[in-house]
Amino acid sequence: MRWRVRVLLVMALALLGVGIVPPVMTSADSSTTAHIFGTKIGLMFRSDPNNWDSRQGPAGYDGDLIVLECQVMGTPVGPNGNRTWYYGRTRFGTNWVPDHFTDTPIKASQWLPGLPQCGQQNASASSAQASPASVFFSGTNNAHGPAGMAQVSDLDIRYDDWKSNGDCAPTNAANRTGSASILAGWSKGRLGPIYTIMVKPQQIHTIILFDPGDTANFTGACDTNQNINVNAILAGWLNSNRANHLVVYTGAISEEQGPGRTPVSSAQALVSGAGKRPGLTFAGLWHYYFAGIWNQPFADRALVCDYFNTGHDDIVNNYHAAVQASPTACLPSVDPTNHTLTPWHP
């Protein structure tokens, strides 16, 4: 079995005086830990145990510790068609890995004794993720946002796992958030936090939106559904508790540069007192998201972090650390020469 091969390898290296680099993570109960094994080049996380192509960034390299949280039967992997998969945590993050590339003592397609089965065969609904502190709603079926992104929050949810199937109903998204008090969303993922505070507004205290969109993105979508008034929802939530904060990270799409606008460089002066560059209208956000916040006593708890002319994917790529590190303040611009940061309140 694979664990015996590993033990013999360790003993041989010890006899040769070769040091073994200890795992970065601290080992836990042996019934819920294993090591990545037999990959030669390292292992990628998957977002779906039924889809081998759902790669989600590095899980680790041979010898890295993995804490196993629950197990399911998924797509077969390897010459023996091993269908056992684990939802697990490594030094790189948390997501799905196949048993085929671990050193567990079981044979192919067996359940690992002592490890619970996951509630559903989907990482975002796993019983292991019932109590995250922060949740990120992706606007695509990559749970972490744009391709190549690392983990954004404690629990990152792909679009198909939180969307409302065209009916603009909030329960599907709200049911995914567990006990989280910090919610974030990128692109279409903007609706995940909105849906959630419709169901459990008292639980959520911070909402971070990454480049949510422009007028065209909102028009005809659930943002403008007759049963959902985002202006009123956000305003009511901010007004209900002084601990509540809304932070919106914006770039070129959300800025909505006005027609006939004269191009400006990052060195040009800002409009005095307006907090925005000349020619940037933010029309969709003003109309559908900020109208109920404007000139209200709680407007100081709504913050726009605008990074001039930054690309849609780059906004979340560059500033996703805000979810964990600085949820109620703007992060410094990664390129202050070309993409100046301008904070302002609606």
Instruction: Give the model confidence (pLDDT) of 167-188 as tens digits.
Output: 898 988 998 888 899 999 999 9
Check whether 15 has a pLDDT greater than 60. no
Q: How many CA atoms lie within 13 A of 133 on its CB side?
A: 5
Give the lowest-confidence range in 17-26, 106-115, 304-313, 322-331: 17-26
The whole-number pLDDT of residue 214 equals 93
Confidence band (pLDDT; 50, 70, 90) for 277?
A: low
State which H helix or E strand residue 198 sits in: helix 191-199
Confidence band (pLDDT; 50, 70, 90) for 301?
A: very high
More confident residue, 267 or 74: 74
277 by Cβ neighbours in 10 Å (0-12 / 13-18 / 19+) ranks as buried
Check whether 344 has a pLDDT greater than 50. yes
pLDDT digits (tens, 9 = 90+) for 65-124: 998 988 888 889 999 999 999 998 888 888 899 999 999 999 999 989 888 888 643 444
The whole-number pLDDT of residue 132 equals 81
Determine the Cα–Cα distance for residues 178 and 160; give it in Å rounded to an integer.
18
CA Rg, the chain, in Å? 23
More confident residue, 165 or 235: 235
The mean pLDDT of 192-200, rounded to a whole number, is 96
pLDDT digits (tens, 9 = 90+) for 145-171: 998 787 899 888 889 889 887 789 898
Cβ neighbour number for residue 43 with a 10 Å cutoff = 23
The whole-number pLDDT of residue 324 equals 87
Confidence band (pLDDT; 50, 70, 90) for 28?
A: very low
The whole-number pLDDT of residue 330 equals 95
Among candidates 342, 247, 229, 249, which has minimal Cα distance to 292?
229
Give the lowest-confidence range in 67-76, 266-275, 298-307, 314-323: 266-275
The whole-number pLDDT of residue 32 equals 81
The whole-number pLDDT of residue 25 equals 33
The whole-number pLDDT of residue 50 equals 86
Rounded percentage of the chain residues whose pLDDT exceeds 90? 54
Q: Is the pTM here over 0.95, yes or no?
A: no
Rounded percentage of the chain residues whose pLDDT exceeds 70? 81
Strand order in the sheet with 341-344: 155-157, 134-137, 182-186, 206-210, 245-250, 302-307, 341-344
Confidence band (pLDDT; 50, 70, 90) for 276?
A: low
Confidence band (pLDDT; 50, 70, 90) for 140?
A: very high
- What are 233's two structure tokens? 């929802």
Strand order in the sheet with 65-77: 33-35, 65-77, 82-90, 93-98, 43-46, 55-60
Determine the Cα–Cα distance for residues 139 and 207; give it in Å rounded to an integer.
15
- Helical axes 230-240 vs 191-199, angle rounded to 10°: 60
Residues in the chain: 346
